[in-house]
Structure 1
Amino acid sequence: MSTDPAPNPHATAEQVEAARHDPKLANVLYHDWEAGSYDDKWSISYDERCVSYAADRFRLVAGDTGWPYERALELGCGTGFFLLNLMQAGAATKGSVTDLSPGMVQAALRNAKGLGLDVDGRVADAERIPYDDDSFDLVVGHAVLHHIPDVEGALREVLRVLEPGGRFVFAGEPTMIGDFYARRLGALTWKATTTITKLPALQGWRRPQTELDESSRAAALEALVDIHTFDPADLEAMARRAGAPDARVATEEFAAAMLGWPVRTFEAAVPPGKLGMGWAMFAYRSWQRLSWLDQNLLSRVVPRAWFYNALITGTKPVR
């Protein structure tokens, strides 16, 4: 029988206030709150689209030499997006998912079961990973490091549970400059959408006020759980201090982020299902084209710190 705590899907105003002084509590409350709708909110799937996305992020920073890894661990798994799609791509054969949020661990295990993947899971703190030394040959995470109070301590834990020669790959981490413009684009889009849809002719595009209020409370929690942004050079140095002398950072999404953040915010501000598949394909293909532009042209002339996403990899030294 599992001893993991039960999810708490709806934080009270009092709990949100308490979370202002406790970033780990904020992470649990926010991610339990979002667990049931997280895949829809972020357009997460477990089909070829997201399998390719996850595999491409991994290859961008670490290549695919050594595939498949025998045993992989995901920190801050959320609904399992990164590890489950990597497993489907052939990166690993057996997986373990961990998250501070019980709701997210449950969602990830449901998704793994539905996909027929060999995955177990535990509620766990990334600063105190509950596995023995040398337990895994791959540790991954997506958009998790910026939620962890002690990032360097968590990276030391990652290296502890890795076998000698084992690799870690973390993707989807916000850069300082990228976060600055992304948040402002998102806030402007939310204000514009929720204001315009008050007009009588556009009321059908407005989510009920109770849902908008709940989204605003969730956003208040989200502001608390996003603890860090990263300078790529500083993140590399942090990982090297933690014990990975070959750590390196790549970045991606500049033009793509300028589109992606307004698109995702707009999708969250209108009723679910209102936009349809045509919109989804337009958004995805536009993001693909801008990502191509970022990778093949802008990455040659734009400083890496200006891109939105940082990805980091390194290995545990062989004794």
Structure 2
Amino acid sequence: MAADPTPNPHATAEEVQAAFADPKLANVLYHDWEAGTYDEKWSISYDERCIDYATGRFRAIAGEEGWPYETAMELGSGTGFFLLNLMQGGVIKKGSVTDLSPGMVEVALRNARALGLDVDGRVADAERLPYDDNTFDLVVGHAVLHHIPDLPTAFAEVRRVLKPGGRFVFAGEPTRIGDRYARKLGQATWWLTTNLTKLSPLSSWRRPQEELDESSRAAALEAVVDLHTFDPTELETIARSAGLTQVHAATEELAAALFGWPVRTFEAAVPREKLGFGWAMFAFRTWQRLTWLDEKVLRNLFPRELFYNVMITGHKPG
């Protein structure tokens, strides 16, 4: 078997330009670029906070039947956030991480070693997975489907590598309507913050210009790697068309998303040392309360298409 490619966190201008016409190359360059700082950027951790979040998402769409799954593969694992926290939460015994980005696979395996988890990994295209038929009891992914050019082929690959009766769970995917308002909120927050911090009394809150330029370049590639938004019913149809059964999608985060996107954008626009632990706890606790509001109240009042995140699960016929 050929060795996996090595990470390339310093893409040339020519490579970046070529990536605008090649979404898979864009995904590799963007995520290799982000791999070393990705956990910090998105406040990802491998402690009780994110264990509860990951297992909560899994439980919300798939319940607790089948825990622990003997073998699981994460599709588009990034730094391993979903799989590693599900393993720590007792959902999975042995895991495999896969990602198109060598940098992300490298960081995910490093995170797994630091946590003492039984995990292997491969650089892999979701449309051509390097695993035999009927390999895994569970396939999971978080915020990955919207990066994959050919979703029907990817779902067919998920079906192929699952054992008969095996389950898939994908979470953290943007809905069509949710992505629209999230992007508008993010753009408005970025413009307001970067312009206000040009004022003399607030200049200490402005990130160095080279860091702002770097963020802007990353955002430009991000527009290339984010390929899809989803209507929950259409996503269910894609999964069923691949031969998967018992398919069900659910959505979450409305008030939480309206709060969370401006907060995350603000955090990216100011020096991290200005915020501190107090801010982090305020943001997290507020998000928790709004998530409760979404689940207990707003879910019963608004159609699922209005919420920001869509989750989906189903089985390979057994």
SS in 2 for 1:288: helix
Q: Which residue of 1 aligns with 2:99?
A: 99
Q: For residues 178-214 of structure 1, what are the alpha-carbon distances to aligned partners after superposition, in whole Å with 9 as ceiling and x for unaligned?
A: 0000001001001111111111111111111001101
In structure 1, give the amino acid aligned to 2:298: L
Q: Which residue of 1 aligns with 2:277?
A: 277
Separation in 2 of the partners of 1:301 and 1:311?
A: 19
Q: Which residue of 2 aligns with 1:115?
A: 115
Q: Would you say 1:33 and 2:2 are equivalent positions?
A: no
Shift in Å, 1:8? 1.1
SS in 2 for 1:36: helix
TM-score normalised per structure 2: 0.99
SS in 1 for 2:246: coil
Separation in 2 of the partners of 1:16 and 1:217?
A: 10
Q: Which residue of 2 aligns with 1:144?
A: 144
Q: What is the correspondence of 1:159-174 to structure 2 with a 5 Å cutoff? A: 159-174=159-174
Shift in Å, 1:273? 2.3
Q: Which residue of 2 aligns with 1:228?
A: 228
Separation in 2 of the partners of 1:32 and 1:317?
A: 36
Count of residues in Structure 1 that have an aligned counterpart in Structure 2 = 318
Deviates more, 1:5-14 or 1:15-24: 5-14
Q: What is the correspondence of 1:1-319 to structure 2 with a 5 Å cutoff? A: 3-318=3-318
SS in 1 for 2:139: strand
TM-score normalised per structure 1: 0.98
Shift in Å, 1:4? 1.2
SS in 1 for 2:36: coil
RMSD: 1.0
Shift in Å, 1:11? 2.4
* Structure 1 segments (4+ residues) deviating >3 Å: none
Separation in 2 of the partners of 1:189 and 1:83?
A: 31
Shift in Å, 1:244? 1.1
SS in 2 for 1:35: helix
In structure 2, give the amino acid aligned to 1:285: R
Q: For residues 150-178 of structure 1, what are the alpha-carbon distances to aligned partners after superposition, in whole Å with 9 as ceiling and x for unaligned?
A: 11110110010000010000000000000
Separation in 1 of the partners of 2:8 and 2:193?
A: 30
Shift in Å, 1:12? 2.8
Shift in Å, 1:10? 2.4
In structure 2, give the amino acid aligned to 1:65: E
Shift in Å, 1:13? 2.7
Separation in 1 of the partners of 2:273 and 2:121?
A: 31
Separation in 2 of the partners of 1:287 and 1:85?
A: 19
Unpaired runs of 5+ residues, structure 1, are none
Shift in Å, 1:2? 7.8
Separation in 1 of the partners of 2:2 and 2:59?
A: 35
Shift in Å, 1:245? 2.4
Shift in Å, 1:17? 1.4
Deviates more, 1:175-184 or 1:264-273: 264-273
Unpaired runs of 5+ residues, structure 2, are none
Q: For residues 51-94 of structure 1, what are the alpha-carbon distances to aligned partners after superposition, in whole Å with 9 as ceiling and x for unaligned?
A: 00000000110001110000000010000000000000001110
Separation in 1 of the partners of 2:25 and 2:280?
A: 34
Shift in Å, 1:310? 0.3
In structure 2, give the amino acid aligned to 1:74: E
Separation in 1 of the partners of 2:213 and 2:132?
A: 44
Separation in 1 of the partners of 2:273 and 2:168?
A: 37
In structure 2, give the amino acid aligned to 1:148: I
Separation in 2 of the partners of 1:18 and 1:274?
A: 37
Q: For residues 83-140 of structure 1, what are the alpha-carbon distances to aligned partners after superposition, in whole Å with 9 as ceiling and x for unaligned?
A: 0000000011100000000000000001000000000011000000100000000000
Separation in 2 of the partners of 1:152 and 1:293?
A: 34
Separation in 2 of the partners of 1:274 and 1:122?
A: 38
